[in-house]
Structure 1
Amino acid sequence: MTDLSIVIPAKNEAENIEALLDGIDAALAPSFDYEVIVVDDASDDGMEAILKARLARAPRLRVLRNDRSGGQSAAVHSGVQAARSPICATLDGDGQNPPEELPKLVAPLFAPGSEAVALVAGQRVGRQDTLSKKLASKFANWIRSRVLHDGTRDTGCGLKAFRREPFLNLPYFDHMHRYLPALFARDGWQVAHVDVSHRARGGGRSHYSNLQRGLVSISDLMGVAWLIRRRKKSRPTEVTK
């Protein structure tokens, strides 16, 4: 069993994926036994060929490919299902999440006495995005925090680490990756936070617009609030002699 599974949801990141994989190896090889799972969400920009060529020389790499695009949450969920480690970490395939942050991100899950911590959420500092994207994200995070009280200022950060089994026990829905702190807390787990750096996109383009994110977030937010209100409130313990 490996120490750590890194899951990368990626679509049309041919310009970024090799540098990202090189960075992960540089960051983790000195200290971890790990695997890297790239979930190719039906890319059509040549990334599939790049990953196939890399498989021949990268024994830690595994590649899953969707026959049709399913979105980021579906890609993360599929990658975690395939993972061989009890601890998983995610980062975006566009290279904006620096892989050198991974050791710091996962450290709280390996610390002595950390069994109650199931999620470590990265929170970006010094975001390298357009002003419109930063303002839209700030507003969305403010609304989410007011509704869910999840204690997290930046749920859109792709750098997250968590325990595999509790993650797979969460209710699955599209876009669930934006609500992981609230969902883990709903199930009684502790959530830790780590400040992480952020980079400008190296190549390619974003797959989401601010309007697109905003429209889906409204219904998702109401759905998560409903799930929290309807959570199982009692937790029985077995009585012994």
Structure 2
Amino acid sequence: MYEFTIIVPVFNEEENLKRVEQELTNYIKIATKKTKILFVNDGSKDKSQELIEEICTNNSDFSFISFEKNCGLSAAIAAGFKHTETELVGYIDSDLQTAPEDFNLLLAEIENYELVTGVRANRKDSFVKNMSSTIANGIRRAFTHDGMDDTGCPLKVIKTDFAKNIPMFKGLHRFLPAMILLQNGSIKQIPVQHFPRIAGVAKYGLWNRLLGPLLDCFAYVWMKKKYINYKIATKG
């Protein structure tokens, strides 16, 4: 019945979840693929889980999984990939600094690619946040040669077979395009809208936006050298 699953990682976002419900409900009505929503509650300590359960009870297109404790964004995305049964999977942050309707821009291109990612145009973040992201993206490109300008953009669509083959570890959510390239897949980036955070608290500071990703680059280089990639020719 469904063709596309949107993963929504959640960590202490009680102030945003009602807006998430409204925006994604509106998007489902205009989506170019039959769409369902999967919340992944990453061990929230506020009322997020209570609100998620209420939303899922009221909307048949919404479901959830919940972690016992906080494991991080990469773990939430990996769990979402594992529990996706549709042909296509995407994700969006629960702060809604990107617009769900822009998924249609990505879906329009996904037939010819294995991953299509947004690039945040006219970012509405602070100077320090923008500059640290620019530096981090430059460092990551030097290591991965993926050609992507904004891998931190929380708006992506991936063919699920490829998403499930990504060996996830902490911080690797920034390397999703590079991991698709390791599978000999093709990738594309498309400008999307960006908005300031209007509720809740940002979960990333200078360390996990700049210095953390630098260390993750070395993990990626090690993985690239060890990565096993094969295709079945025949079977009987």
Same fold (TM over 0.5): yes
Q: Which residue of 1 is the match for residue 97 of structure 2?
A: 96
Instruction: Map 1:69-218 onto structure 2 (within 5 A).
Output: 69-109=70-110, 111=111, 114=112, 117-218=113-214
Q: Deviations over 1:41-79 (max 9, x none)?
A: 111221112122222210101011111001001111111
Mapped contact 1:73–1:175 kept (Cα < 8 A):
yes
Check the 8 A contact 1:119/1:161 in 2, yes or no: yes
1:185 alignment partner, SS class? helix
Q: Deviations over 1:80-103 (max 9, x none)?
A: 211221100101111111112111
2 CA distance for matches of 1:97 and 1:50? Answer: 21
C-alpha distance 29-186 of structure 1, shift in aligned 2 (>3 A): same
- Match for residue 16 of structure 2? 16
| Equivalent residue letter for 1:160 | K
SS at match of 2:152: coil
Which ranges of structure 1 fall in alignment gaps of 5 or more residues? none
Partner letter of residue 102 of structure 1? F
**TM-score normalised per structure 2:** 0.93
Distance (Å, rounded) in 2 between the aligned partners of 1:234 and 1:18: 44
Contact 1:4 1:85 in 2 (8 A): yes
How many Å separate the matches in 2 of 1:219 and 1:55? Answer: 38
Displacement over 6 Å in runs of 4+:
none
Amino acid of the structure 1 residue aligned with 2:222: W
| Cα drift, residue 235 of structure 1 | 5.5
Identity %: 26
Supply the AA of the counterpart residue of 2:131: L
Secondary structure (helix, strand or coil) at the match of 1:63 reads strand
Give me the whole-angstrom Cα distance separating, in 1, the residues matched to 2:120 and 2:100. 13
Query: Which residue number in structure 2 is paired with residue 63 of structure 1?
Result: 64
State the secondary structure of the residue aligned to 2:8.
strand
Distance (whole Å) between structure 2 residues aligned to residue 233 and residue 90 of structure 1:
25
